[in-house]
Amino acid sequence: MTESEYSMSALPRSIVSLSALADNARLAVAAARGSGSSVLCADLRRDAWGHGLKAVAQAVAMAGARSVIVDDDEAVDAIRDIELGAKVTVDERCASDINPAILYGLPDNEGVVIGTPAMALVGRVVSLKSIQTGDAVSYGYTFRAAKPTRLALVTGGYAQGIVRALGNQARVDISGQSFDIVGRIAMDVSVIEIGGVDVHEGAAVRFFGAGTARAALHDWQRITGLTHAELVTVAGLRTLREWAA
């Protein structure tokens, strides 16, 4: 997503941590070396799986990668100015031997993140609301409250990669506490149940990659049947990217 002079407050953020990328890149290159691989090639296709091509190229080059695979000549141009010391290849048939799960900090098949998640998908509490027993939430009224409770409306819906199938299934994090997504996820917003917890308008809501939602992508994979790779990439390409140290 492009830079804007405005807050872009309606859009969730994909916050990419440069230190996590640097640490993960070292871990991933060491793991490739350790398994006897000498190609040391990183998969940076599709804007480095939605994490930002230039930043990831820099991180893997610093960590000793010998080559990177990118999408096309435009991507080759985009990283031309970086002191890579690595060979840049345009993908046809990918032969990367640096494990992207380690590089990007994605859960492994057991749901464990070996390094640190490089991306956190973060929405914001827009408004708060109390509801009564029997009140329903969102399209199709797929959630009905079993007792009086409170809801928070959150930026982020399926157009930003928060998959529609996650409604009534997944959980999010606010300040270290975990909350259920309730009702159907809409195109741009979701609703979470906060009950009696003191949550404020504007609070950061972590969908994955931080807090109790650190390994939530693994739940997303189980719920949706989609892969970690496509879940993180589409979210990264469909949200406003911000950088963290």
Partner 1 sequence: MSHPVLRISASTLARNIEVIRSRVAPSDLMLIVKDDAYRHGAGWVAGVAKRAGVAWIGTYDIPTALQLRDELGPDIGLFAWATSADDEISAALRRDVDLGVGSLEYLERVICQAGQAEVTARVHLKIDTGLHRSGIAPEAWTHAVRRALSAQDEGLISLVGVWSHLAEASDEEDDAAQAIFLRAAAYARECGAQIEHTHLTASAATWARPDLRGTLVRVGAFCYGVRSADGADIDGVEPIATLSACVSAVDDDVVAINLGSLDGLPSTLADKVSVGTPAGARALVGISLTHSTVETWPGAHVGDEVRIFGAGAWAERSTTGLAEAIETVGEEILTRITPHVRREYTN
Report the interface residues with partner 1, using CB under 8 A: 4, 6-11, 45-47, 49, 71-72, 91-92, 94, 126-127, 129, 131, 135-141, 151, 153, 158-159, 161, 163-165, 183, 186-189, 191, 201, 224-227, 229-230, 233-234, 237-238
Q: How far is the CB of 32 from partner 1 (least distance, A)?
A: 18
Please give the Cα distance from 89 to 92 (Å, whole number): 9
Q: In whole angstroms, what separates CA 40 from the centre of its chain? A: 25
Q: How far is the CB of 77 from partner 1 (least distance, A)?
A: 14
3-state secondary structure of 113: strand
Q: How far is the CB of 85 from partner 1 (least distance, A)?
A: 25
Q: How far is the CB of 83 from partner 1 (least distance, A)?
A: 26
Q: In whole angstroms, what separates CA 38 from the centre of its chain? A: 30
Determine the length of the chain. Answer: 245
**E strand spans, 62-167:** 67-70, 87-90, 119-131, 136-137, 143-144, 149-155
Q: How far is the CB of 244 from partner 1 (least distance, A)?
A: 20
Both structure tokens of 122:
């973060």
Comparison of 71 and 108: residue with beta carbon closer to partner 1: 71
Comparison of 192 and 211: residue with beta carbon closer to partner 1: 192
For 215-225, b/e burial (b = at least 16 CB within 10 A) is: bbbbbbbebbe
Comparison of 211 and 229: residue with beta carbon closer to partner 1: 229
Helix 228-237 / helix 216-224 crossing angle, nearest 10 deg: 110
Comparison of 6 and 83: residue with beta carbon closer to partner 1: 6
In degrees rounded to 5, what are phi and psi of residue 72?
Answer: -160, 180
Comparison of 30 and 126: residue with beta carbon closer to partner 1: 126
Q: How far is the CB of 91 from partner 1 (least distance, A)?
A: 6
Comparison of 61 and 143: residue with beta carbon closer to partner 1: 143
Nearest to 157 by CA among 133, 181, 193, 129: 181
